[in-house]
C-alpha cells in the first residue's frame, strides 16, 4: 500500500512540475503585457505609469529569468527613458543564457554609438555579425527567417561602416527580394542618419 501511495505521489509531482512552470510563464507574460500597456499607454484601460510598468516587467523577469524578451522589453523602456547605460546592462544579462541574440548585440552597439563609445560599439556589431552569419546558415530552409537575417546583417555592415560588404549584400538582396519594403526605402548607407531614425522619439 505504501509503495502504491509513493508511486502515486511521485507521478503527481512529475505531472505537476511542467504545469507549475507553464503557469509561471503564463503569469510572467501577463505581467509583461500589463507593463507594456502601462508604459506605452496602448489601451484605454490604464493610465500611463512608467514606474509601475518597470515594476511589473521586473516581476515578469523574476518569474521567468531566462526569457530574453522580458529583458528586451525592459531595456527598450529604459532607452525611451534615456537610461542608456541601464538598457545596455539589461541586454548584457541576456548574453548569459542566449549567446546568439543578434538583435541585442546590435542594440547595444547603437547605444554605445549614441554614448560616443565607438570601441564598445564595434565589439557588439562584430558579435551581431557572427550571430547573423550563424543564423543564415541555420535558416537555409526557412525563406522568411533567412530573409530577415540577411537584411539585418546588411544593417550591421552599415553600422560597421563596411561599405564594400554593405553594397555587395544590398545589391544581392535587391535581386533576391525586390518587393521588400525595407530595401525599397533604403536610399543610402548613412550610419548617422539611420541611428538618428532609430533614436527618434
pLDDT (0 to 100) of residue 53:
93
11 has pLDDT over 60: no
CA–CA gap between residue 167 and residue 188 (Å, rounded): 10
Q: 143 and 177 in contact (C-beta within 8 Å)?
A: no
Give the model's pLDDT for residue 25.
Answer: 77
10 has a pLDDT exceeding 90: no
Indicate if the pLDDT at residue 65 is higher than 70: yes
Q: What is the pLDDT of residue 201?
A: 61
Bigger pLDDT: 17 or 66? 66
pLDDT of 74-127, one tens digit each? 999 999 999 999 999 999 999 999 888 999 999 999 999 999 999 999 999 999
Which CA distances in Å does 72 have to 57, 98, 176, 184, 194?
A: 10, 12, 31, 28, 21
Whether pLDDT at 1 is above 60: no
Sign of CA dihedral 127, 142, 147, 196: negative
Summarised one tens digit per residue, pLDDT across range 18-55 is 555 566 778 888 989 999 998 888 777 778 889 999 99
Amino acid at each position: 500500500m505504501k509503495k502504491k501511495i509513493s508511486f502515486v505521489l511521485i507521478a503527481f509531482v512529475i505531472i505537476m512540475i511542467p504545469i507549475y512552470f507553464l503557469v509561471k510563464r503564463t503569469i510572467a507574460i501577463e505581467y509583461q503585457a500589463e507593463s507594456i500597456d502601462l508604459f506605452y499607454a496602448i489601451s484605454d484601460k490604464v493610465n500611463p505609469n512608467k514606474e509601475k510598468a518597470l515594476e511589473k516587467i521586473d516581476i515578469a523577469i523574476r518569474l521567468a529569468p531566462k526569457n530574453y524578451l522580458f529583458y528586451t522589453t525592459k531595456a527598450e523602456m529604459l532607452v525611451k527613458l534615456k537610461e542608456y547605460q541601464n538598457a545596455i546592462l539589461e541586454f548584457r544579462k541576456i548574453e548569459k543564457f542566449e549567446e546568439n541574440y543578434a538583435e541585442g548585440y546590435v542594440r547595444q552597439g547603437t547605444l554605445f554609438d549614441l554614448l560616443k563609445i565607438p570601441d564598445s560599439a564595434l565589439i557588439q556589431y562584430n558579435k551581431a555579425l557572427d550571430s547573423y552569419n550563424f543564423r543564415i546558415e541555420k535558416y537555409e530552409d526557412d525563406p522568411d527567417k533567412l530573409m530577415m537575417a540577411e537584411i539585418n546583417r546588411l544593417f550591421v555592415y552599415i553600422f560597421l561602416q563596411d561599405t564594400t560588404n554593405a553594397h555587395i549584400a544590398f545589391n544581392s538582396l535587391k535581386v533576391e527580394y525586390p518587393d521588400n519594403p525595407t530595401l525599397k526605402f533604403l536610399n543610402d548607407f548613412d550610419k548617422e542618419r539611420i541611428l538618428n531614425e532609430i533614436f527618434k522619439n
